[in-house]
Amino acid sequence: MKAAVLREVRTPLQIENVSIGKPGPHEVLIRTVAAGVCHSDLHFIEGSYPTVLPAVLGHESAGIVEQIGSEVRTVKVGDHVITCLSAFCGHCEFCLTGHMSLCTSPETKRDADEEPRLSQPTGPMTQYLNLSSFAEMMLIHEHACVAIRKDMPLDRAALIGCGVLTGVCSVFHTANVRPGDTVAVIGCGGVGLAAINGAAIAGASRIIAVDMSPSKDNMARHFGATDFVCAADADAVKTVLEMTKGGVQHSFEAVGLKKTTEQAFGMLRRGGTANIIGMIPIGQTIELPGYAFLGEKKLQGSLMGSNHFPVDMPKLVDMYLAGKLKLDEMISRRIKLEEINDAFTEMKTGQIARSVIMFDA
């Protein structure tokens, strides 16, 4: 099969032929239909986060089940599925206490002495984030995907697999935003727009979008923002504090920078919580004023929106088909696998939301 391979950091991905194995007892073979080009992949390409190389990247995808292992009970051949990088075992302490997105059980991967899921004649290839979806096929654990209704377009469904799930569920689960709450979202890329949309669905009374680009104003409002602050033209923290007469109850950092994380904390009212959903590069540290904690302000992380994806993803599909969840506007363009490096170049401009690879194109 064709796949986009990362061989060295800070170099373009290479389109190569890669071998894929047969499903083991709890594994599923999926024909990839669509894969979103996510900023998280760029972090690994640029070396901000490490992975063993060579690796097939990609982690935001949807497809159709081609084969299943002998013990698989969650999906069947022909099912349309969305994948999720937070594969879970189902019986560790995290899973049994409702925190399946935190599961780190090795059971969802193959052992080192087993045949690798992906390989070339020169040796095994790393399966990236349990998925490796920049490829024509995916071989994954059954608890890394969920079946969805077949009237859901798979290019839109792919976006739910990471960016939308992360943004919306950080509002629903991590922050537990309630009707009438006040929210600020820093960063109006795919994840930030999803958080804005989630806050609107949750009934937040005021949703302040913050971004460096003034061109994001209309898009943010379309997704549910009530206000927009251009951080290039104003002191974002001061502006939000003045607009809300003391700060918001919930802030969401969707950029992944030291400065914006500190801004997210600075925008809080007393008792508020800053939710960090961006990927801050390894090695960076955050500086906060110690006295602020006397006001019971909180800073917390969010991994994939603290999701319960086998339940959350079908609900998000229903929300989209009911007209509540906005996905159409997130797709800037649909591309072929061979155009993937151009998509990452465009991503760096900050002017596009998502490119989606269509494997049937």
> Would you say the C-alpha torsion 41, 44, 49, 51 has a positive or negative sign?
positive
Residue with tokens 């920049």: 134
Paired with 28 in beta bridges are 68, 140
- Mean pLDDT to the nearest integer, 283-302: 93
What SS3 class is residue 187? coil
Q: How deeply is 180 buried, as exposed, middle or buried, from its count of CB atoms within 10 A (0-12, 13-18, 19+)?
A: exposed
- Mean pLDDT to the nearest integer, 343-358: 84
Q: What is the pLDDT confidence band of residue 360, given thresholds at 50, 70 and 90?
A: confident
Distance CA 63, CA 331 (A): 17
- Mean pLDDT to the nearest integer, 107-132: 95
pLDDT tens digits along 320-334: 999 999 999 999 899
Q: What is the pLDDT confidence band of residue 292, given thresholds at 50, 70 and 90?
A: confident
Spatial CB neighbours of 52, under 8 Å, sequence gap ≥ 6? 126
Strands (E), the chain: 2-6, 14-17, 19-20, 27-36, 55-56, 61-68, 80-83, 118-120, 123-124, 126-127, 137-141, 145-148, 182-186, 206-211, 227-230, 248-253, 268-276, 298-301, 331-335, 354-358
Among 219, 157, 153, 165, smallest CA distance to 194 is for 165
- Mean pLDDT to the nearest integer, 230-238: 97
Q: Does pLDDT of 152 surpass 60?
A: yes
CATH number (3.90.280.10, 3.40.50.1470, 2.160.10.10, 3.90.180.10) of 2-162+306-358 reads 3.90.180.10
pLDDT tens digits along 74-99: 999 999 999 999 999 999 999 999 99
Distance CA 165, CA 169 (A): 6
Cis preceding linkage at 54, omega within 30:
yes
Q: Angle at Cα 237 formed by Cα 232 and Cα 242, nearest 5°?
A: 110
What SS3 class is residue 169? helix
Q: Which of 248-257, 259-268, 341-350 has the lowest mean pLDDT?
A: 341-350
Q: Does pLDDT of 192 surpass 90?
A: yes
Among 118, 260, 282, 122, smallest CA distance to 184 is for 260
Distance CA 78, CA 237 (A): 50
Architecture of domain 176-301: 3-Layer(aba) Sandwich (3.40)
Same fold, 2-162+306-358 and 176-301: no
Helix axis angle, 236-244 to 258-266, nearest 10°: 20
pLDDT of residue 353: 67
pLDDT of residue 352: 67
pLDDT of residue 128: 96
Q: What is the pTM of this model?
A: 0.95
**DSSP letter assigned to residue 295:** G
Is-contact 278 191, C-beta < 8 A? Answer: yes
- Mean pLDDT to the nearest integer, 139-164: 98
Averaged pLDDT score across all residues of the chain: 96
Q: Where are the domains of the chain?
A: 2-162+306-358, 176-301
pLDDT tens digits along 153-188: 999 999 999 999 999 999 999 999 999 999 999 999
Distance CA 29, CA 35 (A): 16
Q: Does pLDDT of 283 surpass 80?
A: yes
pLDDT of residue 290: 87
Distance CA 18, CA 1 (A): 6
Among 317, 349, 68, 57, smallest CA distance to 216 is for 349
> In Å, how far are 30, 69, 87 from 138, measured between CA atoms?
5, 14, 14
Spatial CB neighbours of 75, under 8 Å, sequence gap ≥ 6? 28, 65, 68, 81, 142, 145, 146, 147
What SS3 class is residue 158? helix
Q: Does pLDDT of 255 surpass 90?
A: yes
Q: Does pLDDT of 361 surpass 60?
A: no
Tell me the HSE value of 46 on the side-chain side, using a 13 A CA sphere. Answer: 12
